[in-house]
Amino acid sequence: MTIHREGYNSIGIATLIFGLLNVSIIYFFSASLLWLCIAVLLISLLLLLFIVSFFRIPARISTIGEQLLVSPCDGKVVVIEETVDEEYFKAKRLQISIFMSPANVHVNLNPLSGEVVYNKYHKGKYLVAWNPKSSTENERHSVVIKKNNTEVLVKQIAGAVAKRIINYLHVGDEVEQGAEMGFIKFGSRVDLILPLGTKVNVKLNEVVQGGVSVIATI
């Protein structure tokens, strides 16, 4: 397991606060309120470990396949339905949404190899990520990857807690399946907008792993 580069500053600040807080508590209260010092130490240590774990990148064997669409993130499948995409396709498509809790790994991966033909950031609201309107009203970053004649729209969507979406791709980039696409800090969701008739390999409420689980066959 390694730590994602997006976490270096957050972990550094959290570690500094952890150290200053506990040194101060011990200095002022260790003689009279030892139980308070121990409680603060344990609670702050748990919070620090949580922040470190949030930016973890576990060692995994990626799933690679010409016709496979792998999960762009860790999480739970919360939507599998037909929808009308108003942003790019302007037509009916199949939507699959994956909800990421704060406990999930939050690096986002390319679900397929191909060329980036569309990339756009949208300002928006911060509705809870499981709200159906979050796909179109929340802050989000949309990317379309084209492989042969198939185009897949991937939306990184901010939630009530997640306030920062990071995307590394640019129009014209040739990307590889399973490589990093971006990062969303502190819980949210990722939507996949697929052609109608796509064979879906997951079910509602199924837990998936980024870069490993096969979402669909294209």
Q: What is the DSSP letter of 198?
A: P
Structure tokens at 55: 């930016």
pLDDT band, very low/low/confident/very high, at 195 (cuts 50, 70, 90): very high
**pLDDT over threshold 90, residue 188:** no
Let me know if 159 is exposed, middle or buried by CB neighbors in 10 A (0-12, 13-18, 19+): buried
DSSP category for residue 7: G
Rounded distance, CA 63 to CA 190, Å? 19
Span of 91-105, 111-125, 148-162, 172-186 with lowest mean pLDDT? 148-162
User: What does the pLDDT look like over 23-65, one tens digit per residue?
Assistant: 999 988 888 889 999 999 999 999 999 889 888 888 899 999 9
Sole residue written with tokens 């690679």: 64
Classify residue 30: in a domain, yes or no.
yes
Q: Is residue 204 part of a domain?
A: yes
Instruction: Report which residue type is found at 141.
Output: H
pLDDT tens-place string over residues 13-30: 999 999 999 999 998 888
Nearest to 215 by CA among 122, 114, 96: 96
* 208: CATH: 2.70.70.10
Same domain, 105 and 200: yes
94 with 187, same domain?
Answer: yes
User: Which alpha helices (DSSP H) does 83-140 contain, by range?
Assistant: 134-137
User: What is the per-residue pLDDT across 156-172, written as a single tens digit (0 to 9) for each?
Assistant: 998 766 568 899 999 99
C-alpha to C-alpha distance for 135 and 139, rounded to whole angstroms? 9
Residue 8 has pLDDT above 80, yes or no: yes
Give how many domains the chain has, as a whole number: 2
Contact 175, 109 (CB under 8 A): no
**Alpha carbon distance 99, 127 (integer Å):** 13
Please tell me the predicted confidence (pLDDT) of residue 30: 82
Which sequence positions are flagged as catalytic? 188
Question: How many distinct helices (H) and strands (E) make up the chain?
Answer: 3, 16
Could you list the residue range(s) of the whole structural domain that residue 47 is in? 2-57
pTM given for the model: 0.86
Q: Specify if 47 maps to a domain.
A: yes
Is 122 found in the same domain as 49? no
* Helix, strand, coil percentages in the chain from 3-state DSSP, rounded to 5: 25, 40, 40
Phi, psi (5° rounding) for residue 189? -150, 160
Average pLDDT estimate for 64-75: 95
